[in-house]
Structure 1
Amino acid sequence: MPDRDSSIRAVERAIVLLRALNQLPVSTLDGLHQLTSLPKPTLVRLLRTFEELGLVARGGRPGEYRLLDGVNALNSGYHHVPRVVEVAAPLVRELTERIKWPIAVAMLDVDALVVRYSTIPYSPLSLLHSSINMRLSLVSRALGRAYLAFCSREEQAMLLELVRQSPHPEDQIAQDRGAVLAMLEQTRARGYALRDGAVRPVSGTIAVPVMAKEFVAASIGITWFSSALSVEQIVDRHLDQLLDVSRKISEQL
């Protein structure tokens, strides 16, 4: 357990540092320390590793660092974002045309789920004009919970550590580790996720994961007016349809 926890912390710190480096063309050691709150010796060790891997180069002055094009190799073989959207779009659009409620397709972006596709333009029953690129909490939003509950235990642990560092109000429930783990176990057991009732109570979202073999590739979710239908009614009427769409997407990935 200590070795695994140490490995998770190392990966977490590397991700945090990469995100900080990506914010500016040239970063300083002092600036990275302020952005990440990581100890300077830790930053130096990580930066040296990144240099050896061809991801980072030293700047023109001491203590300066910049990302190299080699960082693009981290996603050069990963085509799930456009592929998931390409496969999911016609399927979720067809479902929205039948049930009228809008459906979102969201994917992981470091410490949150980001909406990559939405059927809001095809729905007469939406509270929003658009949800594209909206960031959704992993622990409060249904789409985030669906991802977090069904990903591997190792990935789940790493993501929870990241979310615990988030200052966003919707992420604060991650501080109660026991409650969050119980919620995720309940979500996994019933096969679908629900949004925290305290977040935007005017509507609700039910979400399920989309699997690519043993990995979670995305989450898809239906949003409805809380005044129109209860959770029980949504589950009874539309859960099987949502799960069917999820299976169809998975089969094509």
Structure 2
Amino acid sequence: MHTIRSLHRGLMALEILNNHKSLTVAEMARQIDLPRTTTFRILENLVAFGYLKRGERKGRYSLTIRVRNLASGFNEDAWLTEIVRPLAIDLSKIVIWPISIMSPRNVRMSLRFTTDTESPLSLDYYNEGLRLPILSTASGHVYLSYCGETEREIVLSALRHEKPDVTNMLANSPDIIQKIISTTRENGFAINIRSPRALEPGKTNTIALPIMRNGQFLAALAMRYISVAMTTTELKERYLPTLTAIRDQMEEELEEADVDI
């Protein structure tokens, strides 16, 4: 009976975290209605099994993408776990700002990995598996700019047939899309600038670079930062060289590695 009760409590914790971006031990204890010491053991067991991750600085627990195994048999790609993730963690320690890895899935950009809970500069905490629109994100702009032409047209056609909203309205503006692609390819990166007057206002901006393998777009390396912290010029001077260097290292190791893509 003790084993069944422990299993039930663990599943309850996963269910609660599925509805929250992250929780501390105290917050989870209130949600699950258990003592903090008991709650701590439950969370640490889930960390040990790989279903949760614990933020080093703030002690917040959040789901890992391994939780998908419980429902769909999903397994993380070797390229992400063995090469890109460790370098992204190293990068986040250097720049301090949160780092994310985004890849395309079903005409959306899917969050494959993030250091949100580890970065002291994170304003928001996002769970892996989050899906974001392509046309209104820096990662999406990088994807459209570096994927193949046929793939791009398929994606844009699908977006044109969706219900119109602020996230896909550009699908019917080929001139604007072409300008985005040209600018992104010329710069080698995309920046999503938000302001109180934007269609999607927010407190953070994002810079994203493409991660390529054998000439094919694999994922986007993104850094989110507080909008008022720096100008675009300062961003490029302070952080772009480091972002580019780590991205280049990722691509070099991907070329040399024998991993599934």
Which TM bucket (shorter chain)? 0.5 to 0.7
Q: Measure how far apart 1:129 and its partner are.
A: 2.1
Q: Measure how far apart 1:80 and its partner are.
A: 8.1
Identify unmatched segments of 5+ residues in structure 1. Answer: 1-78
Q: Is the 8 A contact 2:193 2:206 kept in 1?
A: no
Q: Which residue of 1 aligns with 2:79?
A: 83
| Residues 47-58 of structure 1: pairs in structure 2 closer than 5 A | none
SS of the equivalent of 1:120 reads coil
Q: Distance in 1 between matches of 2:127 and 2:235?
A: 21
CA-to-aligned-CA distance 1:100-140 (integer Å, 9 cap, x gap)? 10010011102011000001122001111224222122111
TM-score, normalising length: structure 1: 0.65
Q: Is the 8 A contact 1:105 1:116 kept in 2?
A: yes
How many residue pairs get aligned? The number is 177
Q: Do residues 110 (structure 1) and 106 (structure 2) align?
A: yes
Q: Do residues 122 (structure 1) and 123 (structure 2) align?
A: no
Q: Is the 8 A contact 1:85 1:117 kept in 2?
A: no
Q: Distance in 1 between matches of 2:150 and 2:192?
A: 23
Q: Which residue, 191, 194, 217 being the options, matches 1:194? A: 191
Q: Which residue, 132, 155, 177 being the options, matches 2:174? A: 177
Q: Measure how far apart 1:196 and its partner are.
A: 5.1
Identify unmatched segments of 5+ residues in structure 2. Answer: 1-74, 255-261
SS of the equivalent of 2:225 reads strand
TM-score, normalising length: structure 2: 0.63
Provide the aligned C-alpha RMSD in A. Answer: 2.1
Q: Distance in 2 between matches of 1:163 and 1:196?
A: 22
| Residues 1-253 of structure 1: pairs in structure 2 closer than 5 A | 81-167=77-163, 168-195=165-192, 197=194, 198=198, 199-253=200-254
Q: Is the 8 A contact 2:221 2:247 kept in 1?
A: yes
Q: Which moved more, 1:220-229 or 1:122-131?
A: 122-131
Q: Measure how far apart 1:169 and its partner are.
A: 2.6
Q: Measure how far apart 1:195 and its partner are.
A: 1.5
SS of the equivalent of 2:93 reads helix
User: Which consecutive aligned stretches of 4+ in structure 1 deviate over 3 angstroms post-superposition?
Assistant: 79-82
